[in-house]
Amino acid sequence: MDHGGLITIDREICRKDGLCVRICPKVFTRRESGGVPEVSRPEFCNDCGHCLLVCPAGAIRHRNLEGRAITEVEKDLMPSFRQVTEMVRARRSIRNFLDRPVERELIEKVIDAARFAPSAKNTQSTRFIAIDNGETLRRIASMTAAWLGGSAKKLRNPLVRAVYLMRGLTTKEEYSRWIGQFELTARNMEQGIDTILYRAPALVLFHADKRVRFAEANANLALQNATFAACALNLGTFYTGYIVSACAHDRAIPDILGVPKGHRVYGGMTLGHVKIGFSRWIDRNQAKIEWI
């Protein structure tokens, strides 16, 4: 890849403050104090734009970021620590939704918040699939329940159980719990009781190319952003772990949704207008901290 001219510094307006060097020493260097910085290693640039944001003179140009709007932070809109912690504590998984669709404008706002999540090396690897078609949602729920039923049968095999326990992947109690929950979920679906999506009117799946390093972490950071955006929009959501697991072990659902080959679904969340919510929060275990 040709990195020549990727990043340039206008020497005429540069204030020689060295902020770009301090914010990104792997790309910028300065031979002498008070001199104009140099772009010495453009091949290490992640296109994050930090150099553009920190330069008070606007002396830096970045070929890959031309045309990107740079917006001043509205500091009066930044939440206080108390506001942030109250939302963190109050946010709950919601599984009771009103029988009405979620406006696509709201879904797009949630995804827009998700795209601003940090990602390793600024790969921005996460892609999104938004499903609000009722028939498709019911099909996904049914396919997931069928996969859980089949998984329960496999888990009842004594040899499979022995392997799991021998490798220390779970405990006897948890193993039995898996089977019971999988079978119950599959049985519920056969009886018309959806304990996969809980009849949520929308589902967002987060997927990425498996070859991208930290793709799973990137996707779940994006999902966390989306969760808080949904909370701020008074939308209910919960993590669809069963669907994510089904997609990881069987290509059936990814294929009907058009997930590209080589991509994996790393996260999923429902969206819906809250029918039964919570006006109180309950404390959790105290953090276990080891100071070194």
Q: What is the pLDDT of residues 135-184, one digit of tens each?
A: 999 999 999 999 999 999 999 999 999 999 989 989 999 999 999 999 99
- Fold designation for 7-65: Alpha-Beta Plaits (3.30.70)
- The DSSP secondary-structure symbol of 79 reads P
- For residue 40, pLDDT beyond 60: yes
Q: What angle do CA 184, 186, 188 make, to 5 degrees?
A: 65
pLDDT band per the 50, 70, 90 thresholds, residue 2: low
Which pLDDT belongs to residue 5?
87
| Mean pLDDT in residue range 258-274 | 97
The answer to whether the pTM exceeds 0.85 is: yes
The CATH code of domain 78-292 reads 3.40.109.10
Q: How far apart are CA 223 and CA 218, in angstroms?
A: 9
Q: Say what the pLDDT of residue 156 is.
A: 92
pLDDT bin (cut points 50, 70, 90) of residue 3 is low
| 124 contacts: CB under 8 Å, gap ≥ 6 | 115, 218
Say which range, 11-15, 31-35, 143-147, 271-275, has the weakest mean pLDDT.
31-35
Reported as a pLDDT band with limits 50, 70 and 90, residue 185 is: very high
- Predicted pLDDT at 30: 92
Q: Determine the Cα angle at 225 with ends 205 and 278, to 5°.
A: 95
Structure tokens at 58: 């606007």
Confidence of residue 34 (pLDDT cuts 50, 70, 90): confident
Q: Assess whether pLDDT exceeds 80 at residue 20.
A: yes
Domain ranges of the chain: 7-65, 78-292
Q: What is the DSSP string of 221-272?
A: HHHHHHHHHHHHTTEE--B-HHHHHHHHH-SHHHHHHTPPTTEEEEEEEEEE
- Say yes or no to pLDDT of 201 above 60: yes
Token representation of residue 60: 């830096």
Average pLDDT score over residue span 209-230:
98
- Percent pLDDT > 70 in the chain is 99
Residue 268 · residue 130 · CB < 8 Å: no
